[in-house]
Structure 1
Amino acid sequence: MIGSVQRALRLLEAVGSHAAGAPAKQLAREAGLPLPTAYHLLRTLTHEGYLRREKGVFVFGEAAVKLAVGGALQNRRSRIEDALVHWRDAIGVPVYFAVYREGEIELVAVADTPYAPAVDEWADFRETGHAHAIGQCLLSQLDERARQDHLDRHPVQAITPYTVRDRRALLERLGSTGRMQPVVERQEYALGTVCAAIPITAGSTAAAIAISLPLHQQERLLPAVDQLRSGIGSLLSSFAFSISI
């Protein structure tokens, strides 16, 4: 054990118990530290950005806030992964979660097994959004300007014989897709694979949950989508998402 680290952590805990901050003497008392030791550690924590002194009291600084945000994001991701594992096991298919963030498709998490493996990302997922169900699902949720901007940066191109043939055809397909309807694609991204994606409204962020199956099991695809849609709302509500399926 490193005593100075333990003492610094006790001071941070003391600061965290006061929403409006607290003076050094009070923090030293609550942390059970001699005042000179507390002063030394408070100066160090302030210098490193973990604390900030305002009007004689110490409050959390930017570095501490980043730690808290990072922890919250990590916890949220863990909950998403747990949800995907639940549906993977319940339906027996690989399950994917993706969002559209800062102009790009981001595959956040995947749950699969050796017996039901995820689709191999043989072509960059971000650049081939026109070809896979996740990308088409996310693009269908964007406004026209954002959609056109994405396709300017990532042009439509055939990557299998079944890929949508051109930009016009893709836009027609996206335009005819109901805003919150599942998107299905067959062998457009990977030969021998069929996929479906369900749109999710996550605040102002476009998001999607998707599944995939081998082509010879395609008769399972739509029943699996129905099963996912029927129960996923209650599960994902724990993510503090606004969901519309």
Structure 2
Amino acid sequence: MRNQFTTFRDVLLHDFNLKRLEIPGYSWRSYARSMNVSSGRMSEIMSGKKGLSEKAALKMSENLNLPTELITLFLELVAEHQHSKLLKMSTRSTATFLLDNWDGVALLVLMKSPSFKSEKSWIATKLGVSLERVTYLLDTLVAANQVTQDSEGNYRVLEVPIPFWNNLPVNRTVHSNIRCFEYFTDKLEFVETASAQATSLTVSIPLAKMDELKRLLADFHYGLKSLSDHSPESQISRLQVQLIPITVTAESSS
């Protein structure tokens, strides 16, 4: 049966021809009406200008006058077509997807954790998202060649570089990655204590030199930012610098 029907359009054409044998003068307009779609939409589908979503295919399958196994094949071919479209996802669209979906980036980072489990329920709990969302993220990342799945169903990250910041609109990149990084660094807490480095420093600064201190902190901030490298070998870390007064001056207490 697979040899006869290689695309979902072949199945629709077969269904149309069967109905035309039963009803002389049966037209594509009539067939489109029986499928509850417009004739223009049906024309675009059959010509290859438009695809067919799995949801639309499921509704359409209710009106197919075909054996159950052929209807099942129709739905499988639609799903395969959708998957092939994902496989053609460009590097640019992959980067855009990750910029717009904090949980996509979070999942990639989570998968590099030593404690990662290829269990959708575990991932959903860690990210705080639904099982359906996890399935969508994994399918998209696999199709985008960022994640692979072995024969036992285990997922792992492929070290495929993505030009995160290159060839993307600057204004979109700035706003998207800030939102994305803020979300996933807040969500994920899998870094072992031993791998985190933390320290605090308490100093006495004359009030007259507070402006100078703030300039030093600003210089430190920009200096650190110049070291940022978004290559695949980079590690994303969060550094928080806070200037918190812990004494009350005579001036402020009066």
Same fold (TM over 0.5): no
- Richer in helix (by share): 2
TM-score (norm 1): 0.30
Richer in strand (by share):
1
| TM-score for both structures, normalised by structure 2 | 0.29
